[in-house]
Chain A
Amino acid sequence: MTYDVIVVGAGLAGLTAALRLSEQDRRVLVIAKGNGATHLAPPVIDVLGYAGDKRIESPQKALSGFVVSHPGHPYANVSADVIAESLDWLSRRVPELGYQGRLDENWLLPTAVGVPKPSALVPESMVAGDLRRGGRFVFIGLRGLKDFHASYLADNLARAQLPARVSTRFIELEPPHDRNADPGSVGFARRFDEPRFRDWIVQALAGQLEPNEKVGFPAVLGIEKAGEVWRDLERRLEHPAFEVPLLPPSAPGIRLYDALARALRQAGARILIGDRVAAGGSEGGRVAEINALTAARPVAYRANSFVLATGGFASGGLELDSRGSVRETVFGLPVAGMPDAGEPMFSPRYFDTHAVSRAGVAVDARLRPVDEKGKVVFENLHAAGAILSGAVPWREHSGNGISLATGYAVAAAILEHAAPRIRVDARD
């Protein structure tokens, strides 16, 4: 099968690149072994939250210095303007999430354990959680929902270092037991989609909220009717309401995936989830095709350009074997950013910076993988997202920002330089 562009990976980076290209009438196939971090992570776009231990208020201001001190970082290949454009683009492209924010300031939102977390772009259902202006917060616990403990969150947040005064408390609700509902976050999100369940919540909170309080719910305010759920609650509670992200799976992250996938299908792209991808043939320094490992046999898919957006170790884009050697799983590309032999790959504590986490694919200015000498490996192969080397996303708070910005930039690089689009015989 022949496409203009084939994107390997269906996380934020791959979906962004694919949608940008489909918008420009390129015939695109997104192919992935499975779903990506959209199903695990909240849909907040953290561009840059920390430099070392210092919390960043404006990524825009911090970026120029940051790329100087982090030369191999993915942001070194995308300008601040492009990052800002990518944020705007996402806000416009998935109006369902009502994104708000800009590159020049970070929101500060509470996590489920009561830690303030900086993010550049956040869905409207999380905006009222902004801690920068302080105020009174009440967190709503739902008995039976795993991994959200309102009292713990309220306690921790009261003790956190914040730019303004906050007061916190919690209310624990015991929703009616539904034998058909699953107690995980996705199950609760489905219950919130139902008006009757929201009626119950509103009634249960009647008379319990104090003036000027902002009401924090676990991030389970609907899946299919998400925006409607959140607006409905705000209106009926007559208080600002917001969602606090939870552990995986992520209901709001799934909303982002669904919105992007919907937009992609509307733009005419194909999405194929379930096949591992392996390298196919190459000709004259260009990738000619990739192989989808289908149930019966490898099937070759051809394209003019390819985007590798396979994520890092967690998503199977990189593999580390027991002898410490690391491999890029699709094309066997050179992996940069590994600590030197003899140096430790891991630090003793889980949330420390681990040397191995910088491993990934190094790229040129057009986001094409390069070898140790900086030579482009394949003329028409680009890479975006967590597969890129040089970042420590969970320390920097830069994960989704890198994926969005590089996914966006990769599309631009392809549109500028690649061969003109193929004849789209099947559709025209």
Chain B
Amino acid sequence: MTEAVRDSLDRCVKCTICESFRPFSKVTPLFPGPKYVGPQAERYRDAGMSADHSVDYCSGCGICTQVCPQGVKIAEINSQARAAMWEEQGQIGQVQLRNQLIARPSVIGKLGTPVAPLANWALGNRTLRGLAHNLIGIHRDAAMPKFAGRTFQRWARRHARRAADKTVVYFHGCGTNYYEPAAGEMLVAVLEHNGFNVIIPPQDCCGLPLQSNGRFPAARGYVRRLVANLAPYAREGIPIVANSTSCGLMLKREAHEILGIEDEDLQVVSKQLFDVCEFLLFLHEKGELRTDFQPLPLEVPYHAPCQQRGHGIGKPALDLFALVPELRVIELNIDCCGIAGTYGLKKEKYDISMAVGEPLFRQIREAKPEVAACGSETCRWQIEHGSGIHAVHPIELLYRAYGLDSPSPALRERVGERVEKERL
């Protein structure tokens, strides 16, 4: 266990505040709560043996760490304990295979992209999903994104870069690359509209899914390779923006705190890393954000994902939305959508994950919006799955308000797909 995390343990005064939040233990007896499996059980783990196995059901949403007034790093303690427990148990057979598989989105992305139509068909096929459920342990109903059939990286390589006096680096993550390249294009358009030259270095997974599936050594490898690509820019003082709240948090803090990486590359990257909404709001503070927004007469429920709360930056999207005429935002005040990255994909945890998300889905359904907004891709997929309402990254709304969306993103997406298909 990393020292900073271990030391925070002694600050626990057993006040039970974390226990009264814990979105997951609300719905399942299998997870007794963050204090019990964290600061409490940790005392018995000293000998290197896992005291209890219920920590397996902790999703790592991190709400406990945020609400603890004493600064106990509860979620971090639990992540590390979970990894140690899995290692000790030696995950067997199906669980091992499944967790290895879902923890490598970029590998899946590389395999699925060239055969996207087939892969998407398979993901939508009940029989095959039933097989995957039984054989691999990925729940048959779990929300699975569709392969875009093209990668954002490929688009980026062809995208003519603008000459501009301001430069920013874009860390897009696997979700954008393989599933939502259009989201990445919109982000680039918004930044270019604000006079930035957007650099998109080659990049692979940040290792977060491996970390949350307890594969720390492999996760560390991914982090090191990624930050090695980003660090040269960071050293020049160029800001790096991320549009995935969870992958952004990985580089800001978790890779250091949970995986214990002390790497100098990681340190410079962390310091330069911004969530894209955080970044735009800083620009606005300096009077450098263009505010030529057209009215966007929509009522949009906004969910700040739990991983975004971990950034400690509040909800910058709300301040950005407030700049858009006629855009009405319903701030949802729900801790977690339940997916927690890959947690909700797992056969044994899917029901729990949907029950955790239900209050959120209900609020979104009741608002009957055209779209909902949320900064994390896995949460958006879960929201769409649970509520039936299309969910977009906040940037997409800004993109539309800037009037950059003609033709509409959906159309561009389809056009993009057709072009890609023709190329194949």
Contacts and interface: CB of A to CB of B under 8 A. Distances in A.
Interface of A: 1-2, 29, 32-36, 39-40, 179-182, 184, 186-187, 190, 248-249, 254, 261-262, 265, 270, 272-276, 292-297, 299, 311, 314-316, 426-427
Nearest to A250: B20
Given A33-B71, A316-B69, A40 B29 contact: no
Which of B28, B69, B274, B313: most chain A CB closer than 10 A? B69
B312 interface: yes
B17 A39 contact: yes
3 tightest Cβ-Cβ pairs between the two chains A and B = A34-B69, A274-B66, A294-B312
A301 B82 CA distance: 36
Contacts of B273: 296
Tell me which of A182, A248, A272 has the highest count of chain B C-beta atoms within 10 A of its own C-beta: A182
Interface of B: 13, 15-17, 19-20, 25-29, 32-33, 65-71, 249, 252-253, 270-271, 273-274, 281, 284-285, 309-315, 318-319, 322-323, 331, 333
A273 to B, nearest CB: 6
Contact of B29 (A181, A265, A272, A426): A181
15 contacts: A33-B69, A34-B71, A40-B15, A40-B16, A179-B29, A249-B17, A249-B20, A261-B333, A265-B331, A270-B315, A273-B67, A274-B312, A295-B249, A296-B271, A316-B69
Contacts of B285: 1-2
Contact of A186 (B13, B19, B69, B323): B19
Given A40-B15, A275-B312, A296-B271, A35 B333 contact: no
Nearest to A184: B19
B17 A34 contact: yes
Nearest to A178: B29
Contacts of A35: 17, 67, 69
A182 B26 contact: yes
Contacts of B323: 426
A295 B69 contact: no
Contact of A182 (B25, B252, B274, B309): B25
A270 B20 CA distance: 22
Contacts of B312: 272, 274-275, 292-295, 299
Contact of B271 (A293, A297, A311): A297
Nearest to A223: B20
Contacts of A181: 29
Given A179-B29, A182-B33, A295-B252, A273 B66 contact: yes
A168 to B, nearest CB: 28
Given A1-B281, A273-B67, A182 B29 contact: yes
Nearest to A38: B17
A248 B271 contact: no
B311 A294 contact: yes
B270 A34 contact: no
A33 B27 CA distance: 26
Nearest to A182: B25
A270 B274 CA distance: 20
Given A249-B19, A426-B322, A315 B69 contact: yes
A145 to B, nearest CB: 14
